[in-house]
């Protein structure tokens, strides 16, 4: 089973990044963190990689609900979404699959919340795939 949900599009990187943030917001998520992996690896170890961002997305209502069920769940939060340039110049957007991530807790009480979060993250990915 894949641990992520993804699509690859043929649009400029910055435009796709903006679209991801916009679609996350429409699904009730905010972006808590924005890690520029390309810049970090360049400055820390001199590595040159393609553009790569990690967005830490959080839906506060679902996070609160899940933390009430499993108090150490913060180790799996927020939901990471990556935006990265591929070798052929396209842009891949991928999100963690929260259902797979929550299975690690072995707590079936999280299943309903994980399914709803997956539905919303999938809607983000689907919207990006449909956009021109």
SS3 of 71-114: the string is: CCHHHHCCEEEEEEECCCCCEEEEEECHHHHHHCCCCHHHHHHH
Nearest by Cα to 6 from 131, 129, 130, 132 = 129
Q: Domain count of the chain?
A: 1
Q: What is the CA radius of gyration of the chain?
A: 15
Q: What is the pLDDT of residues 33-81, one digit of tens each?
A: 999 999 999 999 999 999 999 999 999 999 999 999 999 999 999 999 9
Q: Please tell me what DSSP assigns to residue 59.
A: -
3-class DSSP assignment, residue 49:
coil
Q: Residue 26: which CATH number?
A: 3.30.310.70
Supply the pLDDT for residue 72: 95
Residue 20 structural domain: 4-130
């Amino acid at each position: 089973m894949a641990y992520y949900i993804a699509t690859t599009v043929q649009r400029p990187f910055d435009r796709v990044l903006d679209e991801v943030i916009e679609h996350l917001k429409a699904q009730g998520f905010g972006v808590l963190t924005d890690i520029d992996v390309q810049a970090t690896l360049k400055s820390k170890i001199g590595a040159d990689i393609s553009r790569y961002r990690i967005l830490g997305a959080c839906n506060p209502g679902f996070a609160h609900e899940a933390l009430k069920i499993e108090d150490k769940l913060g180790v799996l939060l927020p939901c990471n979404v990556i935006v990265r340039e591929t070798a052929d110049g396209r842009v891949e957007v991928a999100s963690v699959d929260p259902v797979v991530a929550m299975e690690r807790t072995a707590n079936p009480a999280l299943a309903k919340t994980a399914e709803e979060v997956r539905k919303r993250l999938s809607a983000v990915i689907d919207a990006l795939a449909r956009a021109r």
